[in-house]
Amino acid sequence: MSFFEKHETLIKKAVNALHERTFYAQYPEHPSPKIYGETADVDGRKAFQSLVGKPYEALNQTPTDGWIGVEESPYMQDPLNITYPNINVETLINRSEKAFHEWRKVHYKERAAILVESLERVKQKFFEIAYATMHTTGQGYMMAFQASGPHAADRALEAIAAGFEEMSRYPESTVWDKPMGKFNIQLDKSWRPVPKGVALVIGCSTFPTWNSVPGLYASLVTGNSAIMKPHPGAVLPIAMVVAEIRNVLAESGIDPEVCQLAVDTFDKTNTKELATHKKVKVIDFTGNSEFGTYLEGLPGKTVFTEKTGVNSVVLDSVANVDKVAANLAFSVALYSGQMCTAPQNFYIPESGISTPDGQVSVEEFEEKFIEQINGLVDNPKAGPFVLGTIQNKNTVNRIAEAEKLPGKLLLKSRSIENPMFNNARVATPAVLEMESKDKEQFSKELFGPVALIIKTKDTKESVALAQEMAEAYGALSCGAYTTNADTKEFIADQMSLAATPVSFNLTGGIYLNQHAGFSDFHVTGGNPAGNASFTNPDYVNRRFTWVGFREPVSK
């Protein structure tokens, strides 16, 4: 049985989910023993621990310059001492280009099936990947399992499905028959989706799989070879994915260099050398706006970016202010605000927020919001696991700098104890109050757990500021609370012009930070936060070119 015969039904279900946009998840998000096995968690933790302090040989890549690795656990603040094959850029490119010419000739259906098979094998490593993610990114256990395991796999499957759909949009061949009166002109016509060549995927430190696998799988399914260049501080989770892709390629009799891992260090990076290489045709990037904009300007490259932004929340009127405060407090605390979709600027009219019980003043909301934050982070069964840890030491310094901004410091960031890791690098949210005139201070991303309460004249000014931030600096998400239908439509209309998705009136178990595969487009590509959206058709179509051939029909 070929992999396509094995996975055809799954692929078609995923394609259908793209169109329906309803809930669909191939990979269950809860680490239930009933789903993954009674010992899956323990086995995954042991498997991760067995990798610490050793060369990671599962990639089966031949190094050119020894072994390197600089990852550190934010929970223990100690090096992991895991090393990876160090391969110089020219060798990576040459291996990739050679493998490309084999991979591009594999039919897209079989490519899709090989990639799905790799996900099915990654599924067996979800717990191992979860612990690897915890100890490289600092995410809490549950987020590390969900984001790097099931949610990432679903996003990868979404990219496969989108590529499969686009490459099957037109017939591979047909007879073109044009009536000309007494005779017909007949041509045999055929078309090929031709991939662009070597693709580069540049990963980030906070979500090394979730942010990387869409571009990686989108390039691979469309026939490009791929070089995965992880952030030096978060290599292991995506290395496990690359290893499984390479395993399936090799078992299929295909050169595994179709997919390679390119590791570097903070002191000696290879990102620019790879990105500017003339044979690299496609680039995916997640990270800071400055480098993302640089990549977008490189000539001769097809570039997909997700950069930084300033995410806003507009508070106009609510049905239950306490539930709103609780939801937003969780959104700010989740993974210590180190999510690209985390809210930062909270706009509230100076007259307060309308509720069924009357106006709630800005000060009253601030008290409720801070009470919810403190209640969450001081809960020993919730706080340490929701916050996780701070991935990068520099983020701690940025929080301290943010607390010095002009305005009123309402809640100072502090550290709390993690019951499992004494040396965990933890920082609780800081909350400041500002005026709308302080635009210069809140017109930039303050990465980490920082929330700014901004007083405005009215809701119209709140919306105008949220729109301006998105148009000028980018935004990946926006929250809005209103019980008025006209105001809701006004907010939706204005923020749509800024190409920013809006989540209205969230109070339950879904949060502004969360985007669902097969339903929510992540980033729109329409504002400075990024030029691409996964996974819409453009996300895969620009990775290949349709080329046609024709000749007279043989008589």
Q: The domain 3-170+196-308+535-545 belongs to what CATH superfamily?
A: Aldehyde Dehydrogenase; Chain A, domain 1 (3.40.605.10)
Structure confidence at residue 97 (pLDDT): 98
From the list 365, 507, 479, 372, the residue with the least C-alpha distance to 428 is 372
Q: What are phi and psi of 390, to 5 degrees?
A: -85, 120
Structure confidence at residue 34 (pLDDT): 87
Structure confidence at residue 1 (pLDDT): 77
Residues 6+ apart with CB under 8 A from 357: none
Residue 555 pLDDT more than 90?
no
Euclidean distance between CA atoms 459 and 483, whole angstroms:
13
**If you average pLDDT over residues 363-389, what whole number do you get?**
97
Residues of the chain with CATH 3.40.309.10: 312-504
pLDDT digits (tens, 9 = 90+) for 16-54: 999 999 999 999 999 988 899 999 999 999 999 999 999
pLDDT digits (tens, 9 = 90+) for 116-173: 999 999 999 999 999 999 999 999 999 999 999 999 999 999 999 999 999 999 999 9
Within 10 A of 289 (CB to CB), how many other CB atoms are there?
A: 18
pLDDT digits (tens, 9 = 90+) for 395-444: 999 999 999 999 999 999 999 999 999 999 999 999 999 999 999 999 99
Euclidean distance between CA atoms 191 and 196, whole angstroms:
16
Structure confidence at residue 507 (pLDDT): 95
Crossing angle of helices 362-377 and 321-333, in 10° steps, is 50
Within 10 A of 319 (CB to CB), how many other CB atoms are there?
A: 12
Q: What is the mean pLDDT of the chain?
A: 96
Ramachandran bin of 319, using left for φ above 0, alpha for ψ from -120 to 50, beta for the remaining angles: alpha
Token pair in block for residue 60 = 């089966």
Token pair in block for residue 161 = 């499905």
CA-to-CA dists, residue 253 to 103, 242, 256, 429, 538, angstroms: 11, 17, 9, 51, 31
Token pair in block for residue 488 = 């809701």
Within 10 A of 448 (CB to CB), how many other CB atoms are there?
A: 25
- The dotted CATH code for 312-504 is 3.40.309.10
